[in-house]
Structure 1
Amino acid sequence: MRGKRTATGAALAAGALAVTGLAFAPTAAAVTPQTATINASCGIFGGGAATLTATQSGTSATLTLTSSAITAPVAVAQDTITSTLTMAKAGGGTVVFSGTKNPAMSAGSSVSV
């Protein structure tokens, strides 16, 4: 009987600690602003005005760049464009995001990465 009470007490203590941990877990700050107009450079593929859109799901954020000024020179398969985005931090310095995520695009279509 005593062993059962100890196990129950330990389980309750672990549960209380888990709830306390959730209460003090950092929350994700909302992504603001949600859109911005930037001047994008895609090297030999051109450049121009582009819209940078930020979306957030829980603690994860996604940045999407779309532009009608920059078009695909040839048909592009899904997830084949390697993109690098360098952003200035509010407190100074920069942060670099990179990835390979894009929809399939036909030649001449607007770019989205």
Structure 2
Amino acid sequence: MRCKRIGAGAALAAGALAVTGLAFAPAALAVTPQTATINADCGAFGSGEATLTATQDGTAATVTVKSSAITAPIALGEDSISSSLTLVKAGGGTVDFTGTENPAMAAGAPVEVGPLSGTV
């Protein structure tokens, strides 16, 4: 199980979720959910559009990532992917969102991870 978590999880996280260069628009400061669309390239796992959904309460924020263009390489159990997402803040600096939450996914299923937690 550990190999599955590190191997598949790391590959998915590194490819699909190591996104840099995306700045939250000022509207993301609202407490209500906000969404953004990115293009991700995950090599053999797929590439294409992914949707980020963000929520914020004070300085605590979460981001969920979903993509039907990027698929699970193997069947993955619930909460088995260790994910990290780095975003560039509009005012400078970066913020990391991390977590191990994901639904169970069959091989070839669309990827979904999160909510990933971070402080903004």
TM-score (norm 1): 0.63
Which is higher, the Rg of structure 1 or of structure 2? Answer: 1
Q: Which protein has greater RCO, CA pairs closer than 8 Å, 6+ apart?
A: 2
Go from structure 1 to structure 2 and tell me whether the alpha carbon gap of 1:47 and 1:61 turns closer, same or farther (over 3 Å shift).
same
SS state of the match for residue 77, structure 1? coil
Identify the residue that residue 8 of structure 2 maps to in structure 1.
none
Go from structure 1 to structure 2 and tell me whether the alpha carbon gap of 1:55 and 1:33 turns closer, same or farther (over 3 Å shift).
closer
Give per-residue Cα distances to partners, 1:62-109, cap 9 Å, x unaligned. 211000110111110001111111101121121111111100011111
TM-score (norm 2): 0.60
Identify the residue that residue 54 of structure 2 maps to in structure 1.
54
Partners of 1:96 and 1:36 in 2: CA distance: 16
Preserved contact between residue 72 and residue 106 of structure 2 (Cα < 8 Å): yes
Over the matched positions of the two proteins, sequence identity in percent amounts to 68
Identify the residue that residue 97 of structure 2 maps to in structure 1.
97
Partners of 2:80 and 2:41 in 1: CA distance: 18
Go from structure 1 to structure 2 and tell me whether the alpha carbon gap of 1:81 and 1:34 turns closer, same or farther (over 3 Å shift).
same
Q: Which moved more, 1:73-82 or 1:47-56?
A: 47-56
User: In the alignment, residue 38 of structure 2 is paired with which amino acid?
Assistant: I
Go from structure 1 to structure 2 and tell me whether the alpha carbon gap of 1:86 and 1:64 turns closer, same or farther (over 3 Å shift).
same
Residue ranges of structure 2 left out of the alignment (5+ in a row):
1-28, 114-120
Q: How many residues are treated as equivalent by the alignment?
A: 84
Preserved contact between residue 63 and residue 97 of structure 2 (Cα < 8 Å): no
Partners of 1:41 and 1:65 in 2: CA distance: 14
Residue ranges of structure 1 left out of the alignment (5+ in a row):
1-28
Partners of 1:65 and 1:77 in 2: CA distance: 17
